[in-house]
Structure 1
């Protein structure tokens, strides 16, 4: 029988004895070795030992650069005694990154790839009871720089050498992340022993053909069968056995299930998962289903669903449409980066919270971005269970990559390993070749710098698609994001494939989203600072300002604050106080992304997908995220929930690009009410559209009907009585159905609106130890009413935000996590805010 013993305990960490310890503080040298955690990282081990400060606080990141430039060694004792006929294998699911594995000083394995599993047989001569297992990690900085010298410098969006080795690129710093170059045994490790072969992997290809679900299980053993063996597989009450002759190492087991329950993305059906068991038996030639001696067992889960990517050319160009179980699925997605710089801290519990937040924001796809990692089994397991589609990038981002033989072999092995590993998960629906590298070749002056040298295109157009086709032909592959389907087309062509829209954040106002008409937009974003309590935990500047040292250190984007302020000016004056600046930037981020999503969705059927940059953060930082580095929801999260609703109403211009989107102009302003239906059933509902003064007086009204099939849209042209205001600065449109689907549209930007100071009445009621109800009744128009309860207690959270009320209307907010004694503060500034506050001064209510 095969046994697997965890190697998670008993480790210590020290500096490698022959390493150059330049820059290592004396107190650290004196304290080493220290206990080490597996899975873990050097940074977190030193942090746990109290030897270094929190790298997420203030500017500590800078003072800890020496960690990534030092060589480290993990050690533990291990019992490797074994009978002569026993096989001993040490298996590491992840070594970060330049690793040498030794037993009693003898090298048994080397690895230069964070993203591959390492399995090594222990030689007979090293099998003893009191052996010492060690893993040395050489500095990834030094390795990458040496490789750059060896192959020659290649274009890179950042100065670090991440494109010369197989390590998470974002470890070297990004425009939202710190430079914290990690090392360590970052995924599980174990000792595998037995006298018979072990099941090394099971890779299921799962298909649906008519009423039949087919699971074809490719099984690989860790070594050839020494004697006849039998594989037995069980799925949904179906049992199949396959005999292996001596010398065989692989086999395929095919199981068929009649009328299986299908796995669906959330919102379109259930997420039915089936347990799969594969057993390996010795002998078993008795023909019975239970004969033979058990040797090893693999268990997993699969889901039956059909999948294809529709890129069939049409009259407008090349669509990009995900089709699941025959249904065209409109994508409402978010880009996913590593949820922590120190990946072992991302537990399954944490993933359930974060991915649950995505689901609650009506997100149905997460794109695992190519500068991070191939995500964990726990990540995919949670996505399987919650019905979240996953698009997994291969790990290439924002740089030219060498195509020399050494790196190419490493990349092929990495790709095969991860495609095999992730095959069981029905949530995985796309493999993507790279992030922005094809765009870089076209537009970032790479061609002059490369002067004809290879830069990675061979990976994206040949190696990677061949691996996917060979290992997992059931899943589609796309060469890059952005990419138009051919090197003959510009990768950011709105008419073809995938588009990234970054001119808006970098150069112009967010209303310019309306000038873009992409078939599928896989990146677009707008920045804002994190929650107030996240800032005050991680930045201790006194005074705290947008440009104080700690705040600027936690703003990694080039001219980030400048872009924030230039992006605010068309809508609001830039506030002088930190409190108002913080709220204004968060509000503007929410408005910008909601504007973009609503516009892109209104293009249906031309557009079938948006993937906002980004869902999450890896540390406390001013960034494009909807959920900050401490896991708190920014106002953007609430805007995502509204703009990604399954049934969306939006009012859009009809007089060409920009049109009425360019609020404040006085030209022709055709407007249309657009209903977008991402649900699996038709939408038939009456809608009332009113033009109102800010005091609530109705100036014009229309009742019409939204009629759209599933996954469709409907457009109703609005008459001039609604579309043309008498006083653009004092009127708005409100459209609402009887079931509460609602949208508003103003005719001017906030700075040009005749807001009254926010006036309202409130009631506050604590209904349990953990829950407070806050009801706000408007006396004047209140636009984008927000409660920020984390300013009172870091654990407090509100259920709703960005609520617009007309005079006489009321809304009840539910606040959870606020300790008793602060309830009345919930209805005072700076906790209760409205857009009005940023235009006209508040006065007593």
Structure 2
């Protein structure tokens, strides 16, 4: 396996020089409907929906049934226009470009009534030469075409064969033919999101004027010399030379903290020119590597690149340099027929713990840097080290990847193709090639991105025949798949970024899929690659239902968001589980009933006489069920990292579906729309802990494994306690001898027959008792200890002695943090502390309270007060739903 090395720069802005002028066209524009009957001001970046809402012409698009009510917006053809003056003498500049970093999506562009170009890809950067058209005073128009109608036209024009799916499932209440437009695929609806196909200018737009020579962009690739054991860096710069004569000069590259400074001579011929530089990092300098969260620091180094060219032209860029290596290891495993599938960072095998990221809003102008930081910090606070940017959304904004670099979040970056087959006519392929080239150039500088993924689930869709393709026609679609993902996307990735691996799909069998001609007969083979796994009908407490796979990149269960979140977009008539609103908001077929089925396996469904309280109790139980299901499944994957059973195992990744929500609705997310933590997210903080005890049963034997993500061995002991449901005093407690917990492994620490354990503890049965356990270690690296875990010996609808708990809280303030001193009258499962819409999170929540008192902290995200918290505070535990 060849070592892939990465030396990366997070780019900052250029220093202004006299050789170029830039004019931002962000801010106020005019927006006009197709027939001219409606005209209003709008903001850029932005979209039509946001402009209509901001002017009070529509309600919140997320309110009740407005996703259907406002469908007319995406079916109209809107026009964006702007009058602007150039604040410098335009005649003194040799070249003037109009640059769009992102147009959503299909538009004809006119400057001073002259057509200058078209756009048809949301993910491309567009640059138009307007030198002969621009004046001192200008009018700019973007005439958008409805993305829904455009997609339908493109589909209709593709007459040689169908490219499924034509439309989403009815439960999604979406629009058709999204695979024919290079736009956020989930904007036409998904099983967790609404249909809001937006139109607008969603990223920066500006005028650039320059003389002599202009730096269009620069990007870079690392090189590692195995012979000298030294770091090198290849820098690629793109220039537009508008001088009729060659331009010469020098480039000075400096990384002061690494005692590295090199000067190069260059000569640029007229036209578009590429300059490649090869920088050797000083071997005497100590290079600190970038590490994922939980494994080390995110060290970076400041770097400057100065281009000093003829005529006094000076262009300077500043950057942040990161060092880290990535390898995807697919090799034979002793005792197994298959291959491993795991990542090494800086030579260390790392278990990828995390989730999947979807767009944070249907309207990207509402996704602020503060919101991104809140959501990504919440991932880190839950002990995650990885997010998969899923292929049906968007390539995220620059701030997202900058925050991932800073926080140590590894990113599995899909290209934007999901759950569909795609056309491969030349126009579509040309657009995709430009898209992929641009995104690699834009994103490859980030150390956080550790792998490129070709698509989401399209290998599985084709080979498991999701779209009912006749066997005689399969070869056509296989050929299209190879053309799009192998001969185009993969070819571009390999040519432009040799520093991180590329996998063709997810799930995929990896090297096995390649061997089978890029499509495996069974892409869900647990012996290879990664798998996605969903099962809503079998009991999620039975760990034997889960795949003992090499890597699990999607799995999960739905829940409803809290009432305080739903309340903002609903009315009183909507507040029941069977209401028209509840059915409308559920975009996964039969999802509401599947949640009730899973609840019914182990809990009592609410039977109260108050309809509103019954609705709130049901919401609470969906969150309990989701948290418990994902906990059991994730713990199974984490304890499977070091063992092979019947050829299966060595699991090295668990990314549950999904981290965040796009609106207020039932979904698989652990963070509600806006960032409020569900019970699952609090559970994730425990089940992703760096040092974790995992308990499970097999044939009446209780096993406890210790899972370590630490870099060094430590001595540990397990304390096992048994409580009766009827008493706050433990029935018995025992600590094992200390033993060595090996770094980066999962090992068996404790086993005992459950009947023997219960007999040893006295008057105890499965129905009357619960087991808890925790690890004690001597390691400085694990000084925070491990979370206390528990194992239910029976379903909680069968418990004996469980009493209704009366829980009180005294709230006090310590600095910016609030202290909740809790006291309970009885053992209380799944204690849920809620402060409504007050933004913030608790130190723990959803916990099993087996002690009389417990102190929990609340970390507010915005200023609040003790009185506001006291007024909003509500506590629920399981017996409150009886």
Q: Deviations over 1:575-596 (max 9, x none)?
A: 2411211111111111111111
Q: Find out whether 1:720 has 2:747 as its counterpart.
A: no
CA–CA distance in 1 between the matches of 2:252 and 2:29?
Answer: 37
Q: What SS does structure 1 have at the residue aligned with 2:343?
A: strand
Residues 484 and 491, structure 1, Cα contact 8 Å, conserved in 2: yes
Q: What SS does structure 2 have at the residue aligned with 1:752?
A: coil
Q: Deviations over 1:318-373 (max 9, x none)?
A: 22211111111110021000111111221222211111111101111111100011
Question: How far has the Cα of 1:751 moved from its partner?
Answer: 0.7
CA–CA distance in 1 between the matches of 2:412 and 2:756?
Answer: 40
Q: What SS does structure 1 have at the residue aligned with 2:43?
A: coil
Residue correspondence of structure 1 range 617-632 to structure 2 within 5 A = 617-632=661-676
Residues 42 and 182, structure 1, Cα contact 8 Å, conserved in 2: yes
Q: Find out whether 1:325 has 2:346 as its counterpart.
A: yes
1:172 aligned residue (188, 211, 216): 188
Q: Find out whether 1:734 has 2:772 as its counterpart.
A: yes
Q: What SS does structure 1 have at the residue aligned with 2:602?
A: coil
Map of 1:573 onto structure 2:
604
Q: Find out whether 1:54 has 2:84 as its counterpart.
A: no
> TM-score when scaled to structure 2?
0.87
Q: What SS does structure 1 have at the residue aligned with 2:794?
A: coil
CA–CA distance in 2 between the matches of 1:721 and 1:166?
Answer: 57
Question: How far has the Cα of 1:187 moved from its partner?
Answer: 0.5
Question: How far has the Cα of 1:295 moved from its partner?
Answer: 3.9
Q: Which moved more, 1:228-237 or 1:101-110?
A: 228-237
Residues 93 and 209, structure 2, Cα contact 8 Å, conserved in 1: no
Q: Which moved more, 1:695-704 or 1:102-111?
A: 695-704
- In structure 2, the gaps of 5 or more residues are 1-18, 169-174, 514-518, 608-613, 643-649, 760-764, 777-784
Residues 652 and 673, structure 1, Cα contact 8 Å, conserved in 2: yes
1:582 aligned residue (609, 619, 644): 619
2:51 aligned residue (30, 39, 45): 45
Q: Which moved more, 1:59-68 or 1:487-496?
A: 487-496
Distance 1:755 1:253, change over 3 A: farther
CA–CA distance in 1 between the matches of 2:111 and 2:691?
Answer: 60
- In structure 1, the gaps of 5 or more residues are 22-28, 284-291, 654-658, 660-667
Distance 1:275 1:592, change over 3 A: same
Question: How far has the Cα of 1:704 moved from its partner?
Answer: 3.6
Distance 1:413 1:763, change over 3 A: closer
Q: Find out whether 1:431 has 2:452 as its counterpart.
A: yes
Question: How far has the Cα of 1:123 moved from its partner?
Answer: 3.8
Distance 1:755 1:111, change over 3 A: farther
1:249 aligned residue (273, 280, 284): 273
1:183 aligned residue (194, 199, 204): 199
CA–CA distance in 1 between the matches of 2:110 and 2:829?
Answer: 64
Map of 2:531 onto structure 1:
499
Residues 102 and 126, structure 2, Cα contact 8 Å, conserved in 1: yes
Question: How far has the Cα of 1:573 moved from its partner?
Answer: 2.3
Q: What SS does structure 2 have at the residue aligned with 1:340?
A: coil
Distance 1:700 1:362, change over 3 A: closer
Distance 1:549 1:233, change over 3 A: farther
Map of 1:205 onto structure 2:
221
Q: Deviations over 1:642-680 (max 9, x none)?
A: 111111111123xxxxx3xxxxxxxx3223211111122
CA–CA distance in 2 between the matches of 1:85 and 1:809?
Answer: 74
Q: Deviations over 1:5-37 (max 9, x none)?
A: 21103421112xxx4x5xxxxxxx65x322121
Q: Which moved more, 1:201-210 or 1:52-61?
A: 201-210
Q: Deviations over 1:258-302 (max 9, x none)?
A: 33221111111111122333333322xxxxxxxx62343333323
Q: What SS does structure 1 have at the residue aligned with 2:323?
A: coil
Residues 207 and 306, structure 1, Cα contact 8 Å, conserved in 2: no
Residues 79 and 141, structure 2, Cα contact 8 Å, conserved in 1: yes
Q: What SS does structure 2 have at the residue aligned with 1:469?
A: helix
Residue correspondence of structure 1 range 524-539 to structure 2 within 5 A = 524-539=555-570
1:453 aligned residue (459, 472, 476): 476
Q: Find out whether 1:709 has 2:737 as its counterpart.
A: no
Residue correspondence of structure 1 range 402-551 to structure 2 within 5 A = 402-446=423-467, 448=469, 451-454=474-477, 455-485=480-510, 486=513, 487-502=519-534, 504-505=535-536, 507-515=537-545, 516-542=547-573, 544-551=575-582
Residues 510 and 567, structure 1, Cα contact 8 Å, conserved in 2: yes
Distance 1:552 1:697, change over 3 A: same
Residue correspondence of structure 1 range 588-667 to structure 2 within 5 A = 588-605=625-642, 606-653=650-697, 659=698
Distance 1:44 1:222, change over 3 A: farther
CA–CA distance in 2 between the matches of 1:649 and 1:40?
Answer: 48
Question: How far has the Cα of 1:766 moved from its partner?
Answer: 2.5
1:153 aligned residue (162, 167, 184): 162
CA–CA distance in 2 between the matches of 1:36 and 1:541?
Answer: 33
Residues 232 and 280, structure 1, Cα contact 8 Å, conserved in 2: yes
Map of 1:136 onto structure 2:
143
Question: How far has the Cα of 1:213 moved from its partner?
Answer: 2.9
Q: Which moved more, 1:295-304 or 1:397-406?
A: 295-304
Distance 1:824 1:406, change over 3 A: closer
Q: What SS does structure 2 have at the residue aligned with 1:645?
A: coil
Residues 452 and 500, structure 2, Cα contact 8 Å, conserved in 1: yes
Residues 701 and 722, structure 1, Cα contact 8 Å, conserved in 2: no
Question: How far has the Cα of 1:724 moved from its partner?
Answer: 5.4
Map of 1:26 onto structure 2:
none
CA–CA distance in 1 between the matches of 2:225 and 2:710?
Answer: 24
> TM-score when scaled to structure 1?
0.90
Q: What SS does structure 2 have at the residue aligned with 1:338?
A: coil
